[in-house]
Amino acid sequence: MDLLFKTPFTLIAHRGANLLAPENTLPAFALAYDMGAAWVECDAVLTADHVPVILHDRNLLRTAGQQVNIDELNYDDLQKYNVGAYFAKEHAHTTVPRLEDVLELALQYGRGVNVEIKPVLPEYAALTAECVCTVIEPYFSRIPVLVSSFEWDCLLWYKKHSPKVNLGYLMSDWEPDWKEKALELNAISLHCDETILTQKRIECLTDSIFAVLAYTVNKRTRAEELFKAGISGIFSDDPQLLSKGEAND
């Protein structure tokens, strides 16, 4: 297990404490840390003026009720959109944070950040990877930072241009050649959809040099099962899942 995951049971708050605050916002990340999460996971995309910001979707329809694409807005214009009111009135002035804002928050708490890079289009993969790298590099020696992406070209960019970045290889479906791909990237972790993790597959994965992380786990019974099988950590929407006395069914 990589030294980034120093405890045998690591919880990474998926988009922050998104059951109690609007996803991918500073209130959600701060609440996740306050609730004890060792890490938060956030989704990084680029604005039209190449500022890495935290948003899961390409457009703002789901979180701000506006059919506008993130890559059509400069950062300053993006701040005019509210991405918290859909969740609750008290978040009516919440805006899309910069990646830098999340890293600064993590620095205050001394916790980790998993940055999942989501290029809005495949042709933006290298540019997004480069812009994210510029932001995260100053934090490498200060807090744990892990970069992951479903976009292969993003990960290849890091291998070529910034090999010291900690990379996580994502698997939503079982890939027989996972080991070759992860080794090619010099990845330190495997991030797997928990629904593909059978006991046999977990044994195969954990018998490797990589930390194995499962997403998205919201039942304590499943978390306990996965940890017993030997995985290193889980992504969860509930930062207190592991500290609850009873299973969250």
65: CATH: 3.20.20.190
Q: Which residues contact 58 (CB under 8 A, 6 or more apart)?
A: 45, 69, 70, 71, 120
4 located within any domain: no
| CA neighbor of 113 nearest in space, from 29, 28, 202, 219 | 29
Q: What is the DSSP letter of 80?
A: T
1 located within any domain: no
100 located within any domain: yes
Q: How far apart are CA 94 and CA 90, in angstroms?
A: 9
Cα 208 versus chain centre, distance: 22
pLDDT of residue 180: 97
Strand partners, 148: 116, 168
Domain count of the fold of the chain:
1
What does the pLDDT look like over 182-232, one tens digit per residue? 999 999 999 999 999 999 999 999 999 999 999 999 999 999 999 999 999
Q: Which of 50, 56, 91, 161 is catalytic?
A: 56
Indicate yes or no: pTM above 0.85: yes
pLDDT of residue 247: 41
What does the pLDDT look like over 47-98, one tens digit per residue? 999 999 999 999 999 999 999 999 999 999 999 999 998 888 888 889 999 9
pLDDT of residue 3: 53
Check if 14 is active-site.
yes
What does the pLDDT look like over 18-49, one tens digit per residue? 999 999 999 999 999 999 999 999 999 999 99
| Matching residue, tokens 């018998």 | 207
What does the pLDDT look like over 153-180, one tens digit per residue? 999 999 999 999 999 999 999 999 999 9
Q: Give the domain range for residue 109.
A: 10-243
pLDDT of residue 88: 86
46 located within any domain: yes
Check if 56 is active-site.
yes
249 located within any domain: no
Mean pLDDT computed over every residue of the chain = 94
217 located within any domain: yes
225 located within any domain: yes
237 located within any domain: yes
pLDDT of residue 20: 95
